[in-house]
A and B are shown apart, each in its own frame.
Chain A
Amino acid sequence: MKIFWKRFKRNKLAVAGGVIVVVLFVIAVLAPFISPFNPNDIDRKHILEPPGARHPLGTDDLGRDVLSRMLYGSRISLAVGFIAAGIATITGMLLGAVSGYYGGWTDRAMMRFIDIMLSIPTFFLVLAVIAFVGPSIWNIMIVIGFTSWMGVARLVRAEFLSLKEREFVLAAKALGASDMRIILRHIMVNSMAPVFVSAILGVASAILVESALSFLGIGVQPPTPSWGNMLTSGKDNIEIAWWLSLFPGIAILITVLSYNLFGEGLRDALDPRLWRD
């Protein structure tokens, strides 16, 4: 553990990423207390105002304060990110575990299924499903989750395949431990690290997908602010309201970037193969 920390701290970028991840989380939680305005308050006198004293990040096409909306938007992005990544990770772990542990036909079928899922362009799939079942925030989380579990599944499966034949597993079996127990207590615990990294990176990509969906108009519904749907009105007004396009875009960029840096940093720190040097 100590070694891990030392290694991790060496990677300054990853540390920065981690810090920002925490800060974003805090902001999201505190949003209702730190927002200067109610994010939904319409103000016909201050429509499409550039950043200024009253509205530090400007206002949108309904006169709403951009800063407040961005603060609340972080809640959506993070919520979708966490839950979608959570669903993906858990699904991936379960399926990967079952596949890796039992092997045989189960494994073959699962690999086939993963191949199928990987062959269809993910975004096409997500787009099609959302457009059909409707863009509620829960649908988005679930759909993104159920289309991004494949990487985790493969990872976990690989771990299981390699650990299955190790002594401590054989010993546990000899002692009469049930399959479930072996899976959970022994093998899973050992594969947590890369899974955790996957989850973090998954949050980042979920946020990107959600913003793309919201941008296309099939994401979060009004008046709920999401960085993606703020960018849509930014796009519509790109020539006269640069602030609407700039700030939410930067927000997405920084968030995704931090999660990626943090995740990659974790991976580098945890990767045993890089330990020798």
Chain B
Amino acid sequence: MIPLIFGITLITFTVIHLTHRDLVGRETEPKETATYGDAVIEGTIGEPSTLIPMLAGDSASHSVAGMIFNGIVKYHTDLSVIGDLAESWTISSDGMVIVFRLKKGVKWADGVEFTADDVMFGYKTIIDEKTPTPYKEDYMQVKKFEVLDRYTFRVTYKKPFAPALTSWGNLVVLPKHLLEGKDITKSDFGRNPIGTGPYKLKKWVSGQEVVLDSNRSYFDGRPYIDRYIYRVIPDPATLFLELQAGGIDMMGLTPIQYTKQTDTDFFRKNFQKFRYPAFSYTYMGFNLRHPWFKDKRVRQAIAHAIDKSEIIDVVLFGLGSPATGPYVPNTWPYNPDVKKYEFDPGKAKRLLKEAGWEDTDGDGIIEKDGKPFQFTILTNMGNRLRINTATIIQWRLAKVGIKVEIRLLEWSTLINEFIDKRRFEAVILGWSIGLDPDQYDIWHSGKTREKEFNFVSYSNPLVDTLLEKGRRTFDIEERKKAYYKIQEILADDLPYVFLYVPDAIPIVHSRVKGIKPSPIGISYNLPKWYVPEKLQRYRIEP
């Protein structure tokens, strides 16, 4: 009897242990080969401008700052919100009050404990009118911020605000004891930050590299990689050459590099490539105030004249998927069943004819009321993918009788002189999609004033209502319904021709283990990456 019970218990325990991973839902593989040490070098084109998150407008700064600072909450790989510095939180039933309880014993890199006072300080700083930050908006919705005790704080909103929870990221976490009373723009903090995160800044050589050392007492466990270096190399060709020469271990590839240059034995042996849909999409936006583009048939005709698969094949080498709306496939707000526009130049011509456009004088360009159909597409310089996309569209539209000029502009000129002032006919740009589906600022008819983001001047009262609905409720199903309907309408109205969602294609040296690609990328678990002892390349003295 007893041996039987013992045997069953033993087997049960063994089975549970082997399936432990599935029960808990998180990765709990035995890390017997995970060793500390080594350094990983990431090559990047852009250099951070400052390491204070709320002051930085560029992605390079946020990338690095993200390793140094934690947020109150963060995203899990399944896109749900989990706590970073927060242990837990409760949201009131009307959604207007959130109480956060922070983890205890988290220390800033200088040893002082992190408390709710630091969050209050961060919040006060970001809404301070003296702080030059572009991210105030979300925090201006807060009516009251109260510190309840050392590790608890309560936020009360003026109105229910669905993106509220996720707004408590790393923008508002700053060390009060170091910055109180100082002007953060003048302090040295942007170049010598102190954070709570897995890495701390060791040195920053302007124009060359940012060196981060691991935080041995990181609250979530000491990172395995002892040092992380961002090496700034402004030229993509050089970047790739450095990768091969061993000067960098990691970089974001271009579609051509991914497809044609990394399939040799050398690459297969020494590198690992990753590929997953990025959280962004590229589109061609029409200025809906333009008399020609006001006609929906014209917009739809243009969509039919473009062969999205051709663009994805040629520009992205197949590393992407067609976009049908402002959401990325396989995320919960994404609606897969909206109207699609197959490549059909014949249909395009018919629609154009319906709208009054025909080639009456045989010069290859269609006219209406004596005016030839000619317009200019604007896009920004330096982005090879967008430039090639514009070129392909230009060529395709020529085949249905539309003449397109392409104008490349330097980024700030494009935004300030043309987009903001609505002085454009069409533009090719991309949006980075936040993880919260609220896109009020882009589609709401009220957001069309100068410098606001509905620069195409889109106006649809039903969409307006749905947008409002989507952000004022916390019920995921309700929100989903609203966003699904919005996508249906957008697919018909076509204020943009949604072009493609590119794949993110990073490459990392093969000695780095523990990388787990997910919808939110590969760097989310960087502190858990490691290099087995015998493969380590660099010895870092503490």
Contacts and interface: CB of A to CB of B under 8 A. Distances in A.
Contact of B406 (A61, A134, A218, A223): A223
Interface string A200-237: 00000000000000000110011100000000010111
A267 to B, nearest CB: 38
Given A41-B395, A217-B381, A222-B391, A240 B409 contact: no
A44 B381 CA distance: 23
B415 to A, nearest CB: 14
A134 B409 contact: yes
A42 B382 contact: no
B281 to A, nearest CB: 21
Contacts of A238: 237
Contacts of A47: 314
A70 interface: no
Nearest to B392: A42
Given A44-B314, A236-B256, A221 B394 contact: no
Among B236, B313, B388, max chain A CB count under 10 A is at B388
A40 interface: yes
Contacts of A42: 310, 314, 391-392, 395
Contact of B392 (A48, A62, A134, A239): A62
Nearest to A135: B408
Contact of A134 (B382, B384, B413): B413
A240 B406 CA distance: 28
Interface in B305-356: 310, 313-314
B308 to A, nearest CB: 12
Counting chain A residues whose Cβ lies within 8 A of the other chain, the interface size class is 20 to 34
Contacts of A240: 256, 260-261
A236 B395 contact: no
A131 B410 CA distance: 7
A47 B314 CA distance: 8
Contacts of A135: 381, 408
B310 A223 contact: no
B256 A61 contact: yes
B400 to A, nearest CB: 15
A222 B409 contact: no
A221 B260 CA distance: 27
B394 A223 contact: yes
A236 B407 contact: no
Contacts of B390: 222
B254 A61 contact: no
B489 to A, nearest CB: 32
A63 B314 contact: yes
Contacts of A217: 381-382, 408
Contacts of A233: 384
Nearest to B240: A239
Contacts of B406: 221-223
A102 B261 CA distance: 64
A42 B397 CA distance: 12
Given A48-B260, A221-B408, A236-B384, A40 B314 contact: no
Contacts of B384: 233, 236
Contacts of A236: 236-237, 254, 256, 384
B310 A44 contact: yes
A26 to B, nearest CB: 28
Q: Ordered nearest first, which 7 A-B pairs have the shortest CB separation?
A: A223-B391, A240-B260, A44-B314, A222-B391, A42-B395, A217-B381, A44-B313
18 contacts: A42-B314, A44-B310, A44-B314, A48-B260, A61-B256, A61-B314, A61-B388, A63-B314, A131-B410, A135-B381, A221-B408, A222-B390, A222-B391, A222-B408, A223-B391, A239-B261, A240-B260, A240-B261
